[in-house]
């Protein structure tokens, strides 16, 4: 049995949506990862959710996200995502992870 049983291998070079421990949502292209779930995210942006206005997108560029801070890595469906009207979405920000 190896430590890399699952791996994020199939997601490399695809667009992913990361939920971080502080409740942020970062979307970008996964370029690399390791066993502690450190991530290299290319062309990424943060999606800021609010109850008052639509989703704000903040351009970030090339990021390394430390594995300690990673909660969820989701495979983003581009067709589905391009159909969303982000201006219409109202939602409170995600809560931070508390151990």
Partner 1 sequence: SIGFAYLVKMLFYSYFKTLVGLQVTVELKNDLAITGLLHSVDQYLNIKLENTHVVDEVRYPHMKSVNNCFIRGSVVRYVQLPADGVDIDILHDATRREARGT
Is 94:23 a contact under the CB 8 Å cutoff? yes
Looking at residues 71 to 90 of the shown chain, list those that interact with partner 1 (rule: CB under 8 A).
Answer: 71-78, 80-81, 84, 89
> Which residues are CB-contacts of 66 (< 8 A; sequence separation ≥ 6)?
38
Looking at residues 39 to 58 of the shown chain, list those that interact with partner 1 (rule: CB under 8 A).
Answer: 47, 49
**In the bound complex, what is the minimum distance in angstroms from residue 7's beta carbon to partner 1?**
8
Round to whole Å and give the CA distance between 7 and 11. Answer: 9
Determine if 6 is a binding residue for partner 1 (CB under 8 A).
yes
Q: How far is CA 55 from CA 21, 36, 85, in A?
A: 19, 30, 9
**In the bound complex, what is the minimum distance in angstroms from residue 15's beta carbon to partner 1?**
9
Round to whole Å and give the CA distance between 65 and 54. Answer: 25
Enumerate binding residues for partner 1 (CB under 8 A). Answer: 1, 3-6, 8, 11, 17, 19, 21, 23, 25, 37, 47, 49, 67, 70-78, 80-81, 84, 89, 91-92, 94-99
């Amino acid at each position: 049995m190896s430590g890399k049983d699952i791996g994020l291998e199939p997601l490399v070079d695809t667009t992913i949506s990361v939920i971080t421990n502080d409740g942020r949502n970062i979307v970008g292209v996964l370029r690399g990862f390791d066993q502690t779930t450190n991530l290299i995210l290319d062309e990424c942006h943060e999606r800021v959710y609010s109850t008052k206005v639509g989703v704000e997108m903040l351009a970030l560029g090339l990021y390394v996200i430390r594995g300690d801070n990673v909660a969820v890595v989701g495979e983003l469906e581009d067709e589905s995502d391009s159909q969303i009207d982000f201006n219409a979405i109202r939602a409170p920000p995600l809560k931070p992870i508390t151990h």
